[in-house]
């Protein structure tokens, strides 16, 4: 059975996205305000060139479709020829924003087996040589990180960059972007599957059906917000200690006829869950 | 529940990456660390806080593959001890943080709620720490008593000795500063890392010991209890007088018998004449740390007990704490004199 942890691939260019759309069999999502493609647990968002578009598009997407994503930013980048080779793919371990001077760090927890490199995000394309840029250069990584880190923890972010040029190209139209991405599709899929299986998602103490039953019980019992919060915490503790909270549900089946009855029964529940 | 451990091979080994703050590369300790971890990927960073304090970190996820951050501490080298730390009778009591965070991930540890990151920060400007300690010694309020400095407050310093010899550095500092006593509290079995150091009244080697069943539940990635006891035995054989810390005592179901059996084991395995003193305490944690730690969802029932809040500290109800302390003290009575047992209350 396929592992269903949600994945959000973001790319700046359609040329970067097309091979991925085809490889994963993604379909356009109609009636969305953003350029979005999807199949099963994988979504792909094209946000356009530059930091502003990245920030606006990714932020809007996460507001509309929040989920516990693995974020994968895939794209081409300039590479310092002393340390990179054209066509090679790198995992980014440090993102430096040239204009603000700020730096960001995706957590490197998983054995991805790719070469790693720092990246500098710039405002406009670098065409006069690598100069002071010691690693990779792109135009969106810092904005992608900054706009997603409020929603996605940094250990579920992966930045994969394929070197397209050595920062001395005056004309980028000669670069075959789809071919660069295509040459790494199997590797990209391997990385995504690896993360999906890795166990980096926090598993809640109470499972979905238990949370649902808890919510029903809270409504039936007309518990206050404070009681509800305490109930959830106590139920988590009980689950950790004894492995189950099944007996709780029968204690919450019937609505109380008064506040006093509610509070008395809540006290009984509390004692049960604390035992 | 899924809780993949480090042994699952999805995860990079601890310290696969070392983040080096600009300026820290000039210190000899940095070169030593990089030499000891040659296969680590070194990443240069402008300011260690941009790695350590950044938002969006997941403490428990990072614990599966901890990274090392090498930095220069700018200020705040020593702090006055807080109420949750045992002073064991010392009136001049401070702590210092040459390393932030710990190799281990004990379920009851306040570090889970203290820092935003599980990665370890090692400060390499040792001379600045020693200057501050020397000033604190001179300025201590009770002049006829030494300054007690906890050097292992926010970490397990000895556990990290093979990577960063901070314990040995503090021991050397004590040789030239007679009015200081340092406490090195540990769960490590690494006494071998300092075995050639001469025993000193100024160095309190303190081992936290817990019954096997408690250690397996709450100290799951620290050395097993027999290895800790073995380290204690080695230290005593070398002439050290050690501190034993039964702290925290966790009142698990059946705790009276569990701790009773455990204390009998201690009496059998550790010679009383090698023990300087014993500290006893129950679980306690600052309220804010407690809330943050629980929010990070460690898979442990330790955050789901019936605690009380007193003066901003979450702990067992006073009566339960007292019962634990009485039980432990009572059982130690024929082993060590009452005045050498310190109880946190």
Q: What Cα–Cα distance (Å) separates residue B107 from each residue in B101, B143, B223?
A: 14, 38, 14
Nearest to B1 among A102, A200, A203 (CB): A203
- Give the span between the Cα atoms of B47 and A45, in whole angstroms: 33
Nearest to B10 among A94, A110, A149 (CB): A110
Quick: pLDDT tens for B16-60: 999 999 999 999 999 999 999 999 999 999 999 999 999 999 999
Check residue B294 and give its pLDDT.
87
* Residue A23 and residue A74 in contact, taking contact as beta carbons nearer than 8 Å: no
Check residue A134 and give its pLDDT.
87
Quick: pLDDT tens for B260-283: 999 999 999 999 999 999 999 999
Asked whether residue B288 carries a pLDDT value surpassing 90, the answer given is yes
Q: Cβ of A105 and B51 within 8 Å?
A: yes
Enter the tokens of residue A263.
């509070």
Check residue A199 and give its pLDDT.
85
Check residue B88 and give its pLDDT.
63
Residues of chain B with C-beta less than 8 angstroms from the C-beta of A150: 55-56
Q: With cut-offs at 50, 70 and 90, classify the pLDDT of residue B298.
A: low
CA B122, B126, B128, B131 dihedral sign is: positive
Which of B40, B36, B34, B35 shows the shortest CA–CA distance to B65? B40
The mean-pLDDT minimum among A132-141, A172-181, B242-251, B297-306 falls in B297-306
The fraction of chain B above a pLDDT of 70, given in percent, is: 95
Check residue B4 and give its pLDDT.
39
Enter the tokens of residue A86.
């054209």
Q: Which residues in A16-54 are b (16+ Cβ under 10 Å) and which e?
A: bbbbbbeebebeeeeeeebbbbbeebbbbbbbbebbebb
Q: Average the pLDDT over A20-36 and give the result.
A: 91
Distance from CA of A171 to the nearest CA of B (A): 32
Is residue B301 within 8 angstroms of chain A, CB to CB?
A: yes
Interface test with A, best of B6, B7, B21, B56 (most A CBs within 10 A): B56
Q: Average the pLDDT over B318-327 and give the result.
A: 93
Quick: pLDDT tens for A148-203: 999 999 999 999 999 999 888 766 678 899 999 999 999 999 999 999 999 888 77
Quick: pLDDT tens for A48-68: 988 889 899 999 999 999 999
Gap between the terminal Cα atoms of chain B: 36
> How many pairs of residues across A and B have Cβ atoms under 8 Å apart?
107
Is residue B3 within 8 angstroms of chain A, CB to CB?
A: yes
Check residue B83 and give its pLDDT.
65
- Give the span between the Cα atoms of B48 and A210, in whole angstroms: 41
Name the E strands within B139-270.
Answer: 147-150, 180-186, 203-208, 242-249
Quick: pLDDT tens for B192-218: 999 999 999 999 999 999 999 999 999
- Give the span between the Cα atoms of B287 and B292, in whole angstroms: 9
Residue of chain B minimizing CA distance to A194? B10
Asked whether residue A80 carries a pLDDT value surpassing 90, the answer given is yes
CA-based max dimension of chain B = 57
User: In sequence order, what are the residues at sequence separation of 6 or more whose Cβ sits closer than 8 angstroms to the Cβ of residue A243?
Assistant: none
Residues of chain A with C-beta less than 8 angstroms from the C-beta of B299: 205, 240
Residues of chain A with C-beta less than 8 angstroms from the C-beta of B57: 107, 153-155
**Please, how many CA atoms are within 13 Å of residue A30, restricted to the half-sphere of its CB?**
0
Q: Cβ of B12 and A93 within 8 Å?
A: no
- Give the span between the Cα atoms of A89 and A91, in whole angstroms: 7
Residues of chain A with C-beta less than 8 angstroms from the C-beta of B58: 107, 153-155, 202
Is residue B55 within 8 angstroms of chain A, CB to CB?
A: yes
Q: Cβ of A234 and B304 within 8 Å?
A: yes
User: In sequence order, what are the residues at sequence separation of 6 or more whose Cβ sits closer than 8 angstroms to the Cβ of residue B18?
Assistant: B33, B34, B37, B40, B41, B42, B43, B67, B68, B69, B70
CATH fold for domain A7-196: Rossmann fold (3.40.50)
Q: Cβ of B45 and A107 within 8 Å?
A: no
Is residue B54 within 8 angstroms of chain A, CB to CB?
A: yes
Check residue A39 and give its pLDDT.
95
Q: Cβ of B61 and A107 within 8 Å?
A: yes
Check residue B8 and give its pLDDT.
54
Residues of chain B with C-beta less than 8 angstroms from the C-beta of A152: 56
Asked whether residue B1 carries a pLDDT value surpassing 60, the answer given is no
Name the E strands within B82-187.
Answer: 93-96, 99-100, 120-123, 147-150, 180-186
Q: Where are the domains of chain A?
A: 7-196, 208-274
Quick: pLDDT tens for A81-123: 999 999 999 999 999 999 999 999 999 999 999 999 999 999 9
Residue of chain A minimizing CA distance to B11? A110
List, as one string, the DSSP characters of A71-120.
EEEEEEEEE-TTT--TT-EEEEEEEEETTT--EE-----B---SEEEEEE
């Amino acid at each position: 059975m396929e592992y269903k942890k949600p994945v959000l691939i973001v790319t700046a260019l359609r040329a970067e996205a097309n091979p991925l759309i085809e490889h994963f069999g993604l379909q356009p999502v109609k009636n969305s305000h953003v350029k979005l493609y999807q199949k099963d647990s994988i979504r792909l968002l094209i946000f356009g060139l530059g930091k502003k578009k990245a920030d606006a598009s990714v932020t809007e997407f996460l507001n509309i479709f929040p989920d516990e994503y693995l974020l994968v930013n895939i794209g081409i980048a300039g590479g310092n020829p002393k340390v990179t080779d054209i066509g090679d793919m790198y995992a980014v371990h440090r993102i430096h924003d040239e204009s603000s001077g700020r730096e960001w760090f995706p957590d490197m927890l998983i054995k991805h087996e790719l070469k790693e490199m720092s990246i500098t995000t710039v405002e406009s394309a670098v065409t006069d040589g690598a100069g002071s840029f010691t690693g990779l250069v792109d135009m969106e990584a810092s904005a992608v990180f900054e706009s997603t880190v409020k929603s996605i923890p940094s250990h579920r972010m992966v930045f994969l960059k394929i070197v397209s040029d050595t920062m001395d190209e005056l004309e980028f139209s000669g670069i075959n972007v789809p071919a660069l991405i295509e040459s790494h599709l199997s590797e990209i899929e391997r990385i995504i599957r690896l993360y999906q299986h890795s166990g980096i998602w926090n598993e809640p103490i109470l499972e979905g059906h238990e949370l649902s039953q808890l919510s029903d019980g809270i409504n039936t019992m007309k518990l206050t917000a404070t009681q509800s919060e305490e109930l959830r915490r106590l139920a988590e503790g009980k689950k950790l200690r004894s492995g189950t909270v099944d007996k709780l549900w029968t204690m919450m089946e019937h609505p109380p006829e008064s506040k006093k009855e509610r509070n008395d029964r809540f006290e009984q529940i509390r004692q049960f869950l604390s035992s | 529940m899924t809780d993949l451990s480090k042994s699952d091979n999805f995860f990079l080994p601890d310290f696969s990456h070392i983040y080096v703050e600009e300026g820290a590369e000039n210190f000899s300790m940095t070169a030593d660390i990089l030499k000891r971890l040659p296969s680590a990927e070194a990443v240069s960073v402008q300011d260690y806080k941009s790695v350590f304090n950044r938002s969006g970190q997941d403490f428990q996820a990072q614990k599966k593959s901890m990274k090392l951050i090498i930095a220069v501490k700018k200020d705040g080298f020593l702090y006055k001890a807080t109420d949750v730390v045992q002073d064991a009778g010392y009136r001049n009591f401070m702590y210092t943080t040459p390393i932030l965070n710990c190799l281990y991930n004990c379920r009851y540890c306040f570090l889970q709620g203290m820092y935003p990151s599980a990665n370890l920060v090692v400060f390499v400007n040792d001379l600045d720490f020693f200057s501050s300690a020397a000033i604190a010694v001179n300025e201590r309020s009770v002049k006829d008593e030494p300054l007690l400095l906890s050097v292992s407050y926010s970490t397990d310093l000895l556990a990290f000795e093979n990577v960063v010899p901070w314990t040995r550095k503090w021991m050397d500092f004590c040789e030239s500063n007679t009015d200081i006593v340092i406490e090195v509290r540990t769960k490590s079995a690494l006494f071998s890392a300092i075995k050639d150091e001469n025993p000193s009244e100024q160095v309190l080697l303190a081992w936290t010991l817990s019954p096997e069943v408690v250690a397996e539940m709450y100290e799951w990635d620290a050395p097993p209890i027999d290895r800790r006891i073995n380290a204690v035995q080695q230290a005593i054989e070398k002439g050290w007088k050690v501190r034993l810390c039964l702290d925290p005592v966790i009142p698990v179901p059946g705790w009276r018998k569990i701790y009773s059996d455990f204390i009998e084991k201690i009496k059998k395995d550790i010679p009383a004449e090698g023990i300087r003193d014993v500290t006893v305490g129950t679980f306690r944690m600052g309220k804010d740390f407690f809330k943050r730690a629980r929010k990070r969802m460690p898979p442990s029932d330790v955050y789901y007990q019936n605690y009380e809040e007193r003066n901003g500290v979450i702990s067992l109800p006073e009566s339960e704490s007292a019962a634990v302390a009485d039980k432990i003290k009572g059982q130690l009575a024929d082993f060590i004199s009452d005045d050498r047992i310190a109880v946190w209350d």
